[in-house]
């Protein structure tokens, strides 16, 4: 398993994927920097009770659609490495299991998105310090903003890597990802049981942990379905 994962890391060493991992959080922070730069007086008055939480909330509102769109592109690019060179048969002819190949692709996507989420948190701290919000940073609230949506999107990570590997035409997985992103931007109008609402961490119980748990559980189910499908079918 470690050998397969190491090989996948080497394959993306000089790929555009790394640029996207950094571009997502950088873009979100840059937009919020412009937002606060243009409306500094208004926003600081609006969030006067807690400037840091106001900043974190605004960053999160942009981060969620960026995360969903980003995971769709990253999973598609990971699968397309083999699709472009018609290398699936050669890869699966090696003395490695199909299970290891699928898990490695998923694990790499999870790692890259974890890195991107972590960079977003670091960028948020730097932006708050640059805006002179002080050093009383609500780290627990910040950690929730960084990782709760990331955990809640696990069903989308598992599903996108499944269809990206299964389909040579990557326009389909990317279209699905764009639709998911659009739905997430209107998630307040959706039922609590629909996964597109979970990354927003809003639910009828008033506790974001329920959205996280739901995301992890459904993500595990979709992962198992995708793994079984990949192991059983012939990949061309």
Q: Which of 152, 132, 135 has its CA nearest to residue 144?
A: 152
pTM for the model: 0.92
- For residue 165, give its domain range: 2-232
- The per-residue pLDDT for 236 is 56
First-to-last alpha carbon distance for the chain, in angstroms, is 22
Quote the pLDDT of residue 43. Answer: 93
pLDDT recorded at residue 74 = 94
37, burial (CB in 10 Å: exposed 0-12, middle 13-18, buried 19+)? exposed
The pLDDT, as a whole number, for residue 16 is 87
Give residue 154's pLDDT.
97
Quote the pLDDT of residue 85.
74
The rounded average pLDDT for each run of 10 residues, N- to C-terminus, in the chain (236 residues) is 80 86 95 94 92 94 94 92 76 78 92 96 96 92 93 96 91 94 86 91 89 96 94 73
What is d(CA 81, CA 127) in angstroms, rounded to the nearest whole number?
A: 35
Question: What is the structure's pLDDT at 91?
Answer: 72
Total structural domains within the chain: 1
pLDDT at 92: 72
């Amino acid at each position: 398993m470690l050998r397969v994962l190491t090989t996948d890391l080497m394959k993306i060493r000089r790929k555009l994927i790394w640029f996207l991992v950094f571009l997502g959080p950088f873009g979100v922070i840059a937009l919020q920097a412009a937002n606060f730069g243009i409306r500094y007086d208004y926003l600081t008055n609006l969030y006067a009770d807690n400037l840091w939480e106001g900043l974190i909330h605004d960053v999160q509102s942009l981060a969620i659609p960026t995360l969903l769109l980003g995971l769709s592109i990253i999973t598609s690019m990971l699968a397309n490495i083999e699709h472009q060179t018609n290398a699936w048969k050669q890869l699966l002819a090696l003395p490695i299991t199909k299970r290891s190949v699928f898990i490695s692709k998923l694990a790499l996507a999870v790692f890259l998105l974890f890195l991107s989420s972590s960079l977003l948190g670091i960028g948020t701290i730097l932006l708050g310090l640059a805006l002179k919000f002080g050093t009383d940073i609500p780290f627990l609230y910040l950690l929730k903003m960084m990782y709760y949506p990331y955990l809640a999107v696990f069903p989308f990570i598992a599903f996108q890597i499944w269809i990206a590997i299964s389909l040579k035409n990557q326009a389909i997985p990317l279209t699905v990802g764009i639709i998911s992103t659009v739905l997430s931007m209107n998630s307040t109008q959706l039922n609590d049981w629909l996964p597109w609402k979970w990354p927003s961490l809003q639910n009828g119980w008033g506790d974001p942990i329920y959205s996280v748990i739901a995301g992890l559980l459904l993500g595990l189910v979709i992962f198992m379905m995708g793994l079984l499908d990949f192991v059983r079918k012939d990949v061309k």
